[in-house]
A and B are shown apart, each in its own frame.
Chain A
């Protein structure tokens, strides 16, 4: 479908950079729009601040049973036998299921947008069939009258394992002679099956020109390698699902998910039932960040419900969330960049190894599309390697793969700039990609705002501010970093109906993780010429709205917004026809602008027109169905000041500024919120978060005590600057904002630590022990 582009009236489509001189959050001009760019209270806000909103764990149903999952204590073992008889006999137990209750899954790929994978592997991950591949791998599930009985029943299930050698670390997994985690898989390299059995399941490459030869042109070359450990998205609401398998074969699922259609489709595949038998109802979601796209509990809840004849609710404990959902991969990146004396990048290569965990399919693909994307260079090559490890199957975490790659590449950029004696932002500006720059995978950058973001960063007061006096035994430093995320489109469907009082209801299928319900409603309101408050948005189930892709990939405000715009335009067209009837004129003679219909001397507001709907032909609904291709990539940059205590190795974040291109910030508060949240996640990823695993693949820190998310006392106020370089693919210029912001933080902190103490940190996390070690103190 085509979308007509509305240019903001009275202004060209030039960039607007909001002056960042005072360093505080910037308020964006409201000038051209009535609703877009304003900050109304979100429609679901009152329910959320009063505790009334229903999240997955709050689901209440008559006859509800409670489930628990029995999980493997071994990281790698063959299942010899499972005896569930004692569990079944326990008073209060209504159902026990194992992999035997799942249909035999086919060996084929299913696509969920920003998730999905091989069906056989997905099914096996739900309940292990012949082998367990990570500690925490589900082996059986129980439904009982309460969770305590269900837990006791799990303890009564007898599983005999034959332990196998666990391969826990990425470098061990690729070493010659490593135990094979999937001996049946042969490696695909550069599109061909190599016939090689390896824990590296896939090797892909993108190349432009001949970087190996081009290094000869470089005056300065920096070649370094870096590692990052596995981390978790850290959503505060544990993964959960409730299901009812009715006697008529219809299955209803209530869950905490980033996409009800993804739940429906993947659960249908895993259970071997047609999608028409499943209705997935998304509850409010308490954080996802990519980790709630794949299903972990929904098929289990459904199976338990089928056996017990009752609805069954499963909620993971925090320890289960860490061990049995989809964390972000650890990585090993080898980067080599070369530049001339004048500062031009002439050759760039990267080898990116990322673990996929227990099954194939990691984030290297996305990382490969982002690692060089901020820069212009004619000779580049990136090789990406997916590596199996005996850890939970990795999943998306907000710009999946790109942050790990940027931790490496942006430090090499920093070092090149330093060796050339150039300011780090000037060096990036000199080499910055822009519209028409060729990406390593072939296409050209479309209109993007990278240079504008860098200029706004350079001009920010933070960049000029003095570092200030360090506390005793500390050193201060400043670092910058820059990153890119491509954003995605995917399908969305919205329908709008007009109420007699001039308000409208808006039905959409994008689960609201960060305030998107409001921004979608605001886009409809803008087109309809009504206030944001006059739109009543609802996020509904898979029976009630057309197919809508996941809330992920920074697509929601863009794509579901487009669907809302299309639905709103349809409403306006229909309203014009009704108004024409009232005035006895031709519909083509009716115009609509600024909330008023006009024809000759007649005029009528939207509200007044709504009063006439009943008498002029009945209900008015408008639908928008989109699968847009016009998504626009986003750039983000960060300035951070740190203070490092050289006696303890501890790093404090003193000041943080993040600049990002949003295309158009529909609701600026929620765009700022994305930048700030991603910054805090980046700080945790940089300084304190890691999966602390022993050689047997057992995670020691499965609690939020020792898996250290930043607290309010660990981070400062986060200065945000929203740059608006409109995306031509959207009427208001929207670009996704949720992911670009997490690409640069760890590199920025590393560059700041280097500036403070003169040491390059090659591994994440850069926790106090690592810094002391880097300083040579221990």
Chain B
């Protein structure tokens, strides 16, 4: 690896100043599970690493009075999935953070880092976007907010300016009779980058009819994308097979994937539909109060009464 300078500011303003001093040649370091891989392979070349884990705003989870939850950008996955408010209110986010890269990666990797890395395949982005999350950004000229759904602009590209710092992600207060679910397709059972993934959130009325929904896909476009037509397909329904099939078709139409070593266009288009249908079905079931396990809880398939 090339030489880098390592700095560890204690405040947001100090961090911003350190980033601004080396525009494009300084990068925030949270868990390091993306940045260090990039630096070691030479895919990214910078002069200065700004370790932001010494800044309280970036390392805390706060539940606000209105019920919204603020997750510091550098909070590691394991803290997110251990937090009672997130477990209770955002099961789709729990699904995502529980499957990022394995237990050791989850000891360090963060939601903020996943978002700022801006990969088309980020596992946490569809579930945050589906939850209606907002990114809180600080820069030399002040702070601003950007919906997570609009944060990524291209492969590895985000709305962040080189002198800006993602401080936290705000999840809106959870509503009654609403729930989310994230599912991804991977060739193994863990440790893979998503070939296609879908995050869905729905809100139901007292009759179990979907009144609102959000559907986001990952790995099937240059950025994670929303699928408004899938929303239209399920709003006003109870999530019947036909509605879900229509949502799946909408997902297939919205997907604009490439062929690469992880999947072909045809495979990803097809999987967009399958994952969307399953994610919506799971979100609706959870909104009804049913327990739908995340991938990390789903047991390996067992035979029934075979040679044991």
Contact with A along B270-308 (1 / 0, CB 8 A): 110010000000000000000000000000111111111
Tell me if A778 and B188 are in contact (CB < 8 A).
no
Contact with B along A640-653 (1 / 0, CB 8 A): 01010001111010
Kindly list chain A residues whose C-beta atoms are within 8 Å of the C-beta of B274.
Answer: 647-648
Kindly list chain A residues whose C-beta atoms are within 8 Å of the C-beta of B263.
Answer: 769
Which residues of chain B (29-79) have a CB below 8 Å from chain A? none
A688 at the interface (CB under 8 A from B): yes
A777 at the interface (CB under 8 A from B): yes
Bound-state Cα–Cα, A648 to B198, Å: 14
A777 partner, pick from B189, B190, B195, B270, beta carbons under 8 A: B270
Bound-state Cα–Cα, A430 to B270, Å: 45
B267 at the interface (CB under 8 A from A): yes
Kindly list chain B residues whose C-beta atoms are within 8 Å of the C-beta of A778.
Answer: 264, 266-267, 270
Residue of B nearest to A642 (CB): B301
Q: Nearest Cβ distance between residue B145 and chain A, in whole angstroms?
A: 33
Which residues of chain A (522-559) have a CB below 8 Å from chain B? none
Q: Nearest Cβ distance between residue A316 and chain B, in whole angstroms?
A: 15
Tell me if A654 and B188 are in contact (CB < 8 A).
no
Tell me if A468 and B303 are in contact (CB < 8 A).
yes
Bound-state Cα–Cα, A692 to B274, Å: 25
Tell me if B307 and A657 are in contact (CB < 8 A).
yes
Interface size class of B (residues with CB under 8 A): 20 to 34
Kindly list chain A residues whose C-beta atoms are within 8 Å of the C-beta of B301.
Answer: 471, 643, 652, 654
Bound-state Cα–Cα, A714 to B263, Å: 19
A594 at the interface (CB under 8 A from B): no
Bound-state Cα–Cα, A692 to B261, Å: 6
Contact segment of A111-119, A458-466, A671-679: A458-466
Q: Nearest Cβ distance between residue B1 and chain A, in whole angstroms?
A: 6
Bound-state Cα–Cα, A317 to B117, Å: 24
Q: Nearest Cβ distance between residue A151 and chain B, in whole angstroms?
A: 8
Tell me if B304 and A466 are in contact (CB < 8 A).
yes
Tell me if A705 and B305 are in contact (CB < 8 A).
no
Q: Nearest Cβ distance between residue A160 and chain B, in whole angstroms?
A: 22
Bound-state Cα–Cα, A687 to B302, Å: 19
A152 at the interface (CB under 8 A from B): yes
Tell me if B307 and A767 are in contact (CB < 8 A).
no
Bound-state Cα–Cα, A540 to B261, Å: 44
Bound-state Cα–Cα, A654 to B134, Å: 42
Question: Known interface pairs A466-B306, A468-B303. Does A708 touch B192 (Cβ–Cβ under 8 Å)?
Answer: yes
B271 partner, pick from A151, A648, A767, beta carbons under 8 A: A648
Kindly list chain B residues whose C-beta atoms are within 8 Å of the C-beta of A467.
Answer: 303, 306
Kindly list chain A residues whose C-beta atoms are within 8 Å of the C-beta of B271.
Answer: 648
Kindly list chain B residues whose C-beta atoms are within 8 Å of the C-beta of A767.
Answer: 187
Which residues of chain B (221-265) have a CB below 8 Å from chain A? 260-264
Which residues of chain A (595-611) have a CB below 8 Å from chain B? none
List the 7 closest A-B pairs by CB distance, nearest first: A23-B307, A468-B304, A465-B306, A778-B266, A462-B307, A700-B261, A692-B261
Which residues of chain A (709-738) have a CB below 8 Å from chain B? 710-711, 713-714, 716, 719
A273 at the interface (CB under 8 A from B): no
Tell me if A706 and B262 are in contact (CB < 8 A).
yes
20 contacts between A and B (CB under 8 A): A23-B307, A148-B3, A151-B1, A462-B306, A466-B305, A468-B302, A647-B274, A648-B274, A649-B267, A650-B185, A650-B187, A654-B303, A705-B193, A708-B192, A710-B188, A711-B189, A711-B190, A713-B300, A767-B187, A768-B187
Tell me if B305 and A772 are in contact (CB < 8 A).
no
Kindly list chain B residues whose C-beta atoms are within 8 Å of the C-beta of A650.
Answer: 185, 187
Bound-state Cα–Cα, A708 to B193, Å: 11
Kindly list chain A residues whose C-beta atoms are within 8 Å of the C-beta of B305.
Answer: 465-466, 468
Kindly list chain B residues whose C-beta atoms are within 8 Å of the C-beta of A340.
Answer: none
Given A152-B2, A465-B307, A705-B191, 19 additional A-B pairs, CB 8 A: A23-B308, A460-B307, A465-B303, A465-B305, A466-B304, A467-B303, A468-B304, A468-B306, A469-B304, A641-B303, A650-B185, A654-B302, A700-B261, A705-B193, A708-B192, A711-B188, A711-B189, A777-B270, A778-B264
Which residues of chain B (174-188) have a CB below 8 Å from chain A? 185, 187-188
A179 at the interface (CB under 8 A from B): no
A701 at the interface (CB under 8 A from B): yes
Kindly list chain B residues whose C-beta atoms are within 8 Å of the C-beta of A415.
Answer: none
Q: Nearest Cβ distance between residue A656 and chain B, in whole angstroms?
A: 10
Question: Known interface pairs A688-B187, A713-B300. Does A700 touch B306 (Cβ–Cβ under 8 Å)?
Answer: no
Residue of B nearest to A155 (CB): B42
A223 at the interface (CB under 8 A from B): no
User: Which of B3, B188, B301, B307 is most buried by chain A, counting CB atoms within 10 A of its CB?
Assistant: B307
Kindly list chain A residues whose C-beta atoms are within 8 Å of the C-beta of B306.
Answer: 23, 462, 465-468, 641, 654-655
Question: Known interface pairs A152-B2, A688-B187, A708-B192. Does A769 touch B304 (Cβ–Cβ under 8 Å)?
Answer: no
Residue of A nearest to B1 (CB): A148
Bound-state Cα–Cα, A24 to B274, Å: 37
B267 partner, pick from A462, A655, A710, A769, beta carbons under 8 A: A769
Kindly list chain B residues whose C-beta atoms are within 8 Å of the C-beta of A711.
Answer: 188-191
Residue of A nearest to B266 (CB): A778
Question: Known interface pairs A700-B261, A778-B264. Does A713 touch B192 (Cβ–Cβ under 8 Å)?
Answer: no
Q: Nearest Cβ distance between residue A25 and chain B, in whole angstroms?
A: 12
Q: Nearest Cβ distance between residue A708 and chain B, in whole angstroms?
A: 6
Residue of B nearest to A476 (CB): B303
Q: Nearest Cβ distance between residue B62 and chain A, in whole angstroms?
A: 34
Bound-state Cα–Cα, A522 to B267, Å: 53
Q: Nearest Cβ distance between residue A562 and chain B, in whole angstroms?
A: 37
Kindly list chain B residues whose C-beta atoms are within 8 Å of the C-beta of A471.
Answer: 301
Q: Nearest Cβ distance between residue B260 and chain A, in whole angstroms?
A: 7
Residue of A nearest to B298 (CB): A471
Q: Nearest Cβ distance between residue A146 and chain B, in whole angstroms?
A: 11
Bound-state Cα–Cα, A652 to B301, Å: 7
Which residues of chain B (182-215) have a CB below 8 Å from chain A? 185, 187-193, 195
Q: Nearest Cβ distance between residue B98 and chain A, in whole angstroms?
A: 13
Tell me if A688 and B188 are in contact (CB < 8 A).
yes
Bound-state Cα–Cα, A248 to B7, Å: 49
Q: Nearest Cβ distance between residue B307 and chain A, in whole angstroms?
A: 3
Bound-state Cα–Cα, A157 to B286, Å: 60
Tell me if B307 and A655 are in contact (CB < 8 A).
yes
Question: Known interface pairs A148-B1, A655-B306, A719-B307. Does A713 touch B189 (Cβ–Cβ under 8 Å)?
Answer: yes
Q: Nearest Cβ distance between residue A149 and chain B, in whole angstroms?
A: 10
Which residues of chain A (486-504) have a CB below 8 Å from chain B? none
Q: Nearest Cβ distance between residue A279 and chain B, in whole angstroms?
A: 34
Q: Nearest Cβ distance between residue A716 and chain B, in whole angstroms?
A: 7
Kindly list chain A residues whose C-beta atoms are within 8 Å of the C-beta of B307.
Answer: 22-23, 460-462, 465, 655, 657, 719
Q: Nearest Cβ distance between residue B42 and chain A, in whole angstroms?
A: 9
Bound-state Cα–Cα, A152 to B42, Å: 11
Bound-state Cα–Cα, A489 to B189, Å: 40
Bound-state Cα–Cα, A688 to B261, Å: 12
Bound-state Cα–Cα, A122 to B43, Å: 33
Which residues of chain A (454-483) have a CB below 8 Å from chain B? 460-462, 465-469, 471
Residue of A nearest to B277 (CB): A647
Tell me if B189 and A768 are in contact (CB < 8 A).
no
Q: Nearest Cβ distance between residue A714 and chain B, in whole angstroms?
A: 5
Bound-state Cα–Cα, A24 to B308, Å: 7
Residue of A nearest to B308 (CB): A23
Kindly list chain A residues whose C-beta atoms are within 8 Å of the C-beta of B262.
Answer: 706
Q: Nearest Cβ distance between residue A705 and chain B, in whole angstroms?
A: 7
Bound-state Cα–Cα, A650 to B264, Å: 15
Tell me if B300 and A652 are in contact (CB < 8 A).
yes
Bound-state Cα–Cα, A648 to B307, Å: 27
Tell me if B185 and A648 are in contact (CB < 8 A).
yes
Bound-state Cα–Cα, A419 to B154, Å: 54
Residue of B nearest to A319 (CB): B41
Q: Nearest Cβ distance between residue B185 and chain A, in whole angstroms?
A: 6
